[in-house]
Amino acid sequence: MNIVRIRDCVVGGSKLCIIAGPCVLENETLVLKVAESMHSLTQKFNMSYIFKGSFDKANRSSIHSYRGPGLEQGLRILESIKNTIGVPVLTDVHCVTQVKPVSEVVDVIQIPAFLCRQTDLLVSAAKSGKPVNVKKGQFMSPWETGNIVEKLTSSGCKKILITERGTSFGYNNLVVDFRSLPVMRNYGWPVVFDGTHSVQQPGAMGKSSGGQKEFVPYLCRAAVAVGCDAIFLEVHPEPAKALSDGPNMVALSSMKYLLDELGKIWNTVIKIREKYEDKLQ
């Protein structure tokens, strides 16, 4: 499998990578606090870390929902995190025109789940020269991600991540089929498990999405045990006051316990993989 190097961070290697931050960039003070805390925790547990945060949430349930600070201010905040904390940063793009300015600042370009089949957006992101993380759509089977990989590689992308974030199961509900992790990993690139969006209940509150954050630790533990290369989490100091995705976000104060658990499972899985993987086919 290909290893993806992003500055000092390695995804697909011997360390578990954590991609974490608030759903949307609310203000610079808050996001710097999250980035600094997460950087410190991941160093403690011998994990790689990438900060994530959106400058615009273009797919909110209601037109009245907070979307973010916008492109210019959002990129300024992301650059501040990158320079101040010294960690790679990741953000979403929603249209082709955003790719160039975003690629000049961030280390990883992310394609949102709803846009994972938008060929022009994938091709543009691939041609930026940046690593690209694509969220598998809630409507898509894991084997269809092979088409995503082909679009990216044929357009020159050298560093790809594919993220599982749950599959639509009736109205306002998502489920995770953990078979998707080895299926997607077989396309040759690291696989990320999105622990917080997988417990989201899209549009369940009418004008906003609900969530069942109490299940985040269970799904993350399962994902690491099954075999993934990174865990994606939305983290906030006070999820109840978050301006987006509060019902499925993890409290920053809980992260040390979750990372401790995941680190222990990861270390066990690595040992088993090295010893038995070829014999368990």
State residue 207's pLDDT score.
Answer: 67
The owner of tokens 């041609």 is: 127
**246: in domain:** yes
- What is the average pLDDT across 161-181? 95
- 224-233 CB burial, b ≥16 within 10 A, e <16: bebbbbbbbb
> What phi and psi, each to the nearest 5 degrees, are found at residue 21?
165, 180
State residue 204's pLDDT score.
Answer: 63
- Helix axis angle for 96-103 and 71-85, nearest 10°, is 30
Q: What's the token pair of residue 27?
A: 């203000």
Residue 60 has pLDDT above 90, yes or no: no
How many whole angstroms separate alpha carbon 131 and alpha carbon 113? 17
CATH assignment of the domain containing 267: 3.20.20.70
**195: in domain:** yes
Note whether 208 and 171 are within 8 A (CB).
no
**281: in domain:** no
96-132: pLDDT as tens digits = 999 999 999 999 999 999 999 999 999 999 999 999 9
How many whole angstroms separate alpha carbon 130 and alpha carbon 146? 20
For residue 118, give its domain range: 4-276
- What is the average pLDDT across 137-141? 96
State residue 280's pLDDT score.
Answer: 60
How many C-beta atoms surround the C-beta of residue 260 within 10 A?
12
How many whole angstroms separate alpha carbon 209 and alpha carbon 225? 28
Residue 212 has pLDDT above 90, yes or no: no
According to DSSP H, which parts of the chain are helical? 28-44, 71-85, 96-103, 119-127, 145-154, 180-185, 216-226, 255-276
**161: in domain:** yes
Residue 239 has pLDDT above 80, yes or no: yes
253-275: pLDDT as tens digits = 999 999 999 999 999 998 887 77
> What phi and psi, each to the nearest 5 degrees, are found at residue 251?
-70, 140
Note whether 250 and 196 are within 8 A (CB).
yes
0.85 surpassed by pTM:
yes
Q: Per the structure, how many domains does the chain have? A: 1
Q: What's the token pair of residue 102?
A: 């975003």
> What phi and psi, each to the nearest 5 degrees, are found at residue 127?
-75, -10
- What is the average pLDDT across 21-50? 97
User: Burial, 236: exposed, middle or buried (Cβ in 10 Å; 0-12, 13-18, 19+)?
Assistant: buried
Q: Strands 191-194 and 230-236, how do they pair?
A: parallel
